[in-house]
C-alpha cells in the first residue's frame, strides 16, 4: 500500500481553525504542529511579522478559544500555543478520521495552503467527500506519491529550505568536525544566524516527514 500526498487550498472562513487564525496584520501564519493533549487538539502556530497584539487579542476573544500563550519570540515571528475546543472543526475531523497527517499548513491572504499525507488514494477521496459534505471548498492543487522520482524532487522542501540544506552539506556543516558555522552559512544566504538554524531545523523535519515517516496502517 503506497501513501499519497496532496496539496490543497481552502478559504479561511470554511473551517473553524481558519476562522480562529484569521489572516490579519501578518505576512503569514504557519502551523508548527498539532499536538494531542488528552482529548484536545493543541496547535502550535507561527505568526510572521505580527503587527502589534491585535491579532492575538482577536483570537483570544473567539468563543472556542480557552487561551493563547507565547512559546518562542523572534524578531520576525512569534510561536504561539492555542488551547481551544476542536470538536467543531469539521476539516480537522475529516483529515483525522481518514488517517491524514498534516505535513504543512500556511495561511496567506489567498487562504490556507495544506500539504497532507494519506495512507492511500481511497483515504484522500473519502476526506474530500467528507469536506464537501461539510460545505468546505477544497481546491486540489497537486497529488503525488512520495516515492515518485519526478513527483516530488524537492521532498516537500521549500526553495529556501532546499538551498539552506544543500549549502550546509556542501560547506561541511554536518561534517565531524564541522567545517563551517551557522554564521558563515548566514553570510552566504544573507539571513540571520538564528534564521539559518530555524530554516535547517524545519528543512530536516520536512525531509524526514516526506521520506521516512509512514502513516499508521488503516483499520477496518
Residues 74, 170, single domain; the answer is: no
Give Dmax (Cα) for the chain: 56
As for how many domains the chain has, the answer is 2
Question: What is the three-class DSSP state of 123?
Answer: helix
Q: pLDDT tens digits for 1-57?
A: 578 889 999 999 999 999 998 766 666 888 887 765 545 567 889 888 766 667 788
96-124 residues labelled b (16+ CB within 10 A) or e (exposed): bebbbbbbbbbbbeebbbbbbbbbbeebb
For residue 213, pLDDT beyond 50: yes
- Residue 119: inside a domain: yes
Structural domain containing residue 168: 159-211
Residues 97, 197, single domain; the answer is: no
Residues 133, 189, single domain; the answer is: no
Q: pLDDT tens digits for 144-176?
A: 876 654 444 566 777 788 888 989 998 999 988
Residues 137, 172, single domain; the answer is: no
- Residue 53: inside a domain: yes
Residues 33, 134, single domain; the answer is: yes
For residue 208, pLDDT beyond 70: yes
- Residue 118: inside a domain: yes
Residue 139 pLDDT grade (very low, low, confident, very high; cuts 50, 70, 90):
very high
d(CA 15, CA 37): 21
- Residue 154: inside a domain: no
Adjacent-strand bridge partners of 100: none
Residues 194, 108, single domain; the answer is: no
pLDDT for res 24: 65
Amino acid at each position: 500500500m503506497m501513501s499519497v500526498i496532496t496539496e490543497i487550498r481552502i478559504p479561511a472562513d470554511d473551517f473553524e481553525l481558519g476562522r480562529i487564525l484569521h489572516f490579519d496584520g501578518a505576512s503569514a501564519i504557519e502551523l508548527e504542529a498539532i499536538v494531542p493533549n488528552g482529548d484536545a487538539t493543541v496547535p502550535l502556530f507561527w505568526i510572521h511579522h505580527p503587527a502589534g497584539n491585535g491579532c492575538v487579542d482577536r483570537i483570544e476573544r473567539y468563543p472556542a478559544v480557552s487561551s493563547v500563550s507565547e512559546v518562542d519570540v523572534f524578531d520576525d515571528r512569534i510561536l504561539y500555543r492555542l488551547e481551544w475546543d476542536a470538536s467543531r472543526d469539521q476539516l480537522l475531523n475529516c483529515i483525522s478520521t481518514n488517517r491524514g497527517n498534516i505535513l504543512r499548513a500556511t495561511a496567506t491572504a489567498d487562504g490556507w495552503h495544506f500539504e497532507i499525507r494519506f495512507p492511500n488514494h481511497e483515504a484522500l477521496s473519502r476526506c474530500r467527500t467528507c469536506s464537501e459534505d461539510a460545505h468546505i471548498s477544497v481546491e486540489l492543487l497537486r497529488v503525488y506519491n512520495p516515492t515518485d522520482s519526478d513527483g516530488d524532487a524537492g521532498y516537500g522542501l521549500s526553495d529556501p529550505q532546499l538551498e539552506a540544506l544543500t549549502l550546509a552539506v556542501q560547506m561541511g556543516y554536518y561534517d565531524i568536525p564541522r567545517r563551517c558555522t551557522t554564521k558563515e552559512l548566514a553570510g552566504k544566504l544573507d539571513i540571520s544566524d538564528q534564521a539559518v538554524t530555524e530554516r535547517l531545523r524545519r528543512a530536516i523535519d520536512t525531509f524526514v516527514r516526506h521520506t521516512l515517516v509512514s502513516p499508521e496502517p488503516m483499520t477496518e
